[in-house]
Each structure stands twice: as structure tokens, then as C-alpha cells.
Amino acid sequence: MRLIGIVGRKNGGKTTLTERLVAHFVAQGLTVSTLKRSHHALDLDTPGTDSHRHRMAGARQVVLASDARLHMFEELPAPMPLEALVARLAPCDIVLAEGWKSGTHFRIEAWRAASGAPPLIEADPTIAALAADIAHPRARFALDDIAGIAEFACSS
């Protein structure tokens, strides 16, 4: 599995880039999984549902399954490292991890000038490349050069 990190500031274009890369890789016949980092308290379960009641009663893991989809809710005692999350995924060709700004994994930064802040790559030389919506001296790609970004990410 090839791990590709998509990083950037709020409103920098991370999700749009991730979405477009998923579609690009899938169109090439590759299997893709994604991981999304959130800094917010996260609860996608609905109070009052059976699964929520199971969690509130103390279940550490709750799997909600239908014929087409499943969701697993899990209470974590501590933040889980990116590598541990990747290890939980089913085998696939590419994993896109959106939002893990630091680490040793391969990362591409999505940056829009309208974000109002400088690109992260200016302070973090371990980011492999910058994809920007305007000309920038550190930009290797235009933010909409999906094919170029995908080729670079898979060949690096």
C-alpha cells in the first residue's frame, strides 16, 4: 500500500485535492482508501439509536452494519498513530491520509492563497511538494494538476 499524505491549512484545498486524487486513481483501476484527520470532538453516532446506547453503556467497540455498509465506533484511550490506522485498513493500492501535517510519511501540501497564511512547506522541508492555486516560488504543481501530482506521488 502506497501512503500519500495530503496536508495544508484550513481552506487550503486538502479535501478537494484528496477527492480528485481518489477519482483519478480509481479511474486507473487502483483500489484506494482514505484516512481523514479531525481536530474536533468526533461523534457521528446519533443519540438515542441502538448503537449509541451500546456505546453509552460502555462498549469499547460498536459495529453498525447493513447489507451495503458498516461503521465502527471505537473509544480510544489515546490518539492512534497514523501507522496504526493504516495497519487497520483492508489491503489496497493507495492510501490517502488527509490532515496529518507532521510525520515521516510522504506528504504533498495543498495551498490556496486565499487561506491567508504562508504554505507549511516554508517551515517544514520534509513536505515533498507544494500544489498551489497561484504562482508561488515553492510550488511544484498547480493545485488542479491532478495527473502530475498523482504521477509524482506514485513515483517518489
Q: State if pTM tops 0.75.
A: yes
The reported pLDDT for the residue numbered 40 is 63
The reported pLDDT for the residue numbered 89 is 96
Exposure class string for 46-72: b at 16+ Cβ within 10 A, else e: eeeeebbebbeeeeeebebeeeeeeee
Question: What share of the chain in percent tops pLDDT 70?
Answer: 98
End-to-end CA distance of the chain: 14
Question: Regarding the domain delimited by 2-155, which CATH topology (the fold level of the hierarchy) does it fall under?
Answer: Rossmann fold (3.40.50)
Say yes or no to pLDDT of 144 above 70: yes
CA atoms within 13 A on the CB side of 20: 15
The gap from C-alpha 151 to its chain's centroid, in whole angstroms, comes to 18
Which of the four pLDDT bands, split at 50, 70 and 90, describes residue 76?
Answer: confident
The reported pLDDT for the residue numbered 128 is 97
Grid cell in block for residue 72: 465502527
CA-CA distance, 15 to 24, in Å (whole number)?
A: 14
CA-CA distance, 22 to 31, in Å (whole number)?
A: 9
Contact 93, 25 (CB under 8 A): yes
